[in-house]
Amino acid sequence: MLTSRDYLTIDDFDVDGKTILVRVDLNTPMDMDGNILDDMRIKSHIPTIKDLEDAKVVLIAHQSRAGKSDFTTMKPHSQRMSQYLGKEVKYVDDIFGTYARSSIASMKKGDVILLENVRFYSEESINRPASEHSTTHMVRKLSPLIDIFLNDAFAVSHRSHLSITGFTETLPTGAGRVMEKEISSLDRGVKGGERPCVFVLGGAKVDDSLTVADNVLSNGGADRVLVTGVVANVMLAASGVDIGSTNLKFIESQGYTDQIERGKGILAKFNGKIGLPIDVAFNDGGKRVEVHVSELPDGNLPINDIGLETIVSFSDELKNAKTVVLNGPAGLSEVEPFALGTHEIIKAAVQSEYSIAGGGHISAEVRNLGYDEKFSHLSTGGGACIDYLAGVELPGIEALKVAATRYRLNR
């Protein structure tokens, strides 16, 4: 049965005995010996594969990118996935050559294979329209062997790469379970679920975070936006607070000086809806020193976290909210004295009725605290998540919508 969504899912297809090509995101941290350090993304795709147990499943994925030390084969990933599935995921040392095609053609119902790192093929990482990707050797060689394409790689769907959009032009296309959950969960944050809805935007991606703030406050998706991290430093400067030369120089080094002026406009536009820190924590030779923003001293100490008064104030807001969205850490969370803000914000967020943590550093901190099961949704995407929250159209998701329209017209 077709759904009312503007994209299709596994439930819209008869997958019994079909050959299904699934783009997954298995990109994982690896050590110098090729050992997987964090298999969260591998585990995330297990529900999708289990729902295709009556099909022949061909997985395509990437690991790192050219020039990086962990740009390697998918063999370790197939082994780890085999452990979680309880059956062999055959690693195929080929992408679309004779070995890959013969391996697909000889598959039996219930088989799962993982093709080689798609980024070994130079055309994979070229950003171009789906129509152009669809004419590449990879798509033309594999498509005749495949019945259905599923995009389950939300974390890379902000890029118009070959394996994300190319097959959507040639095959019936839908979303896997990871993609489906990301869209439905993040929509609750973007479009506003139960009220009040509070966003906490931190980290160092200031321009992206301000775009998110503008988007969710303009469209009514959020009632309040609280800022932490470098985002907060920029907004404090925008509000007229002298944050010190060291912090201003850091903002300049990241290319965000112009965001201070932009921040002034956002503060004026959304008067009272942006929550700024009332105190901060300086890093004085590794020692945490807390100061109220009205009493910031002259000097060159870096601001590495929000202060305790801010932590208490922000935490109270989150505990009283119905929906909470976190994106980015509150400070230098990898250094113990300055992880306090991030950790307390995380603990407060899960006390709301519905809690979302964006990808990247904040998701890593959630898992480090053992709070991943307490969040309503923990996003697998970093850049993709913040783009989605900012209202940016993700090429991978737009391609799903186009494919769904085409499929329905041809029924």
Q: 258: which 2 tokens?
A: 């112009």
Residues belonging to the binding site are 25-27, 41, 62-65, 119, 159, 334, 359-362
Q: Is the pTM of this model over 0.95?
A: no
Can you list the domains of the chain with their CATH numbers?
Answer: 10-182+393-409 (3.40.50.1260), 195-352 (3.40.50.1260)
**Where do the DSSP E strands lie in 42-184?**
56-60, 90-92, 112-115, 148-151, 173-175
Q: Minimal CA–CA distance to 395: which of 76, 50, 232, 164?
A: 164
Residues belonging to the binding site for substrate are 25-27, 41, 62-65, 119, 159
DSSP character string of 109-120: TT-EEEE--GGG
Residues belonging to the binding site for ATP are 334, 359-362
Q: 324: which 2 tokens?
A: 């909470």
> What whole-number distance in Å separates Cα of residue 274 and Cα of residue 256?
19
Which letter does DSSP use for residue 144 in this model? G
| 167 φ, ψ (degrees, to nearest 5) | -75, -15
Residues belonging to the binding site for (2R)-3-phosphoglycerate are 41, 119, 159
* Structural element, H or E, at residue 290: strand 287-292
Q: Minimal CA–CA distance to 280: which of 297, 265, 268, 267?
A: 297
Number of H helices, E strands in the chain: 17, 15
Could you list the pLDDT tens digit for every one of the 411 residues in the chain?
334 589 999 999 999 999 999 999 999 999 988 899 989 999 999 999 999 999 999 999 999 999 999 999 999 999 999 999 999 999 999 999 999 999 999 999 999 999 999 999 999 999 999 999 999 999 999 999 999 999 999 999 999 999 999 999 999 999 999 999 999 999 988 776 689 999 999 999 999 999 999 999 999 889 999 999 999 999 999 999 999 999 999 999 999 999 999 999 999 999 999 999 999 999 999 999 999 999 988 778 999 999 999 999 999 999 999 999 999 999 999 999 999 999 999 999 999 999 999 978 899 899 999 999 999 999 999 889 999 998 899 999 999 999 999 999 988
Q: Minimal CA–CA distance to 238: which of 256, 223, 255, 225?
A: 256
Sheet holding 354-357, edge to edge: 274-275, 224-227, 197-201, 323-327, 354-357, 377-378
Tokens 């922000």 belong to residue: 314
| 179 φ, ψ (degrees, to nearest 5) | -60, -45
Report whether 222 contacts 391 (CB < 8 A). Answer: no
